[in-house]
Amino acid sequence: MEEARTEAGEYRVTEPQRKRAGEIIEKIDQQFKVEERMIELYPRRQHVTYQAQLTYWKSAARISLLQRGWDDPAKIQQHLHQVDRAKTLYIKSLGMSGSYANREDLQLNEEVVKQRINDLEREMFSLIARLEQLRGTFPGAGGD
C-alpha cells in the first residue's frame, strides 16, 4: 500500500500491485478464520487484536488497491463499517486476559490499543465527513 500511495489519499495501482493485493486479501481471509477458531478454542486478547488488525488491513487494501473506492459513497460506507468493526474488536480486547501482542505486532500493549481505538474513531469521523462531502456533490443531494 505504501508503494501505491501518492498524495491526499490517492493511490496509483499497477496491475501487478492489484494482483498482489488480491493475493494478500485472500491470505488475510485465511488468517482471520484461523483467529476465529483460536478464539473459540483459546479466547485470548492476542487473537482479538489480530482480528482487529486483519479487519482493518483487508478493508483498507480492498478500497485503496482493488476498488479505488475513495470517491464511491457505497465503498466508503463499507469501509466505515469495517473500521467500526476493528474498533469494536480492539474494545473487546480490553476486557480479556492475556497479552495484547500478536504475531504481527509483538510490541502491542494496552496503551497502543487505546490509541488505535482513538485513531479509528478519528478515521470514522473523516469517513463520515467524506461521505457528506460526496453526497453534497451529486445533483439533488443536500436536501434540495
Question: Domain residues of the chain, as ranges?
Answer: 15-136
Tell which residue, 1, 5, 51, 2, has the closest CA to residue 28. Answer: 51
- Greatest alpha-carbon pair distance for the chain in Å reads 54
Task: Specify which residues 54 forms β-bridges with.
Answer: none
Alpha-helical (H) ranges within the chain are 15-41, 45-61, 73-94, 110-136
Cβ neighbours for 134, distance < 8 A, ≥ 6 positions apart: 71, 73, 76
User: How far apart (Å, rounded) are the C-alpha atoms in residues 23 and 18?
Assistant: 9
User: How far apart (Å, rounded) are the C-alpha atoms in residues 64 and 58?
Assistant: 10
pLDDT in tens, the chain (144 residues): 555 544 455 667 778 878 888 888 899 999 999 999 998 998 899 999 999 999 998 888 887 776 666 778 888 899 899 999 999 999 999 999 999 999 889 999 999 999 999 999 999 998 899 889 888 865 554 444
The model's pTM? 0.81
pLDDT of amino acid 107: 93
pLDDT of amino acid 124: 93
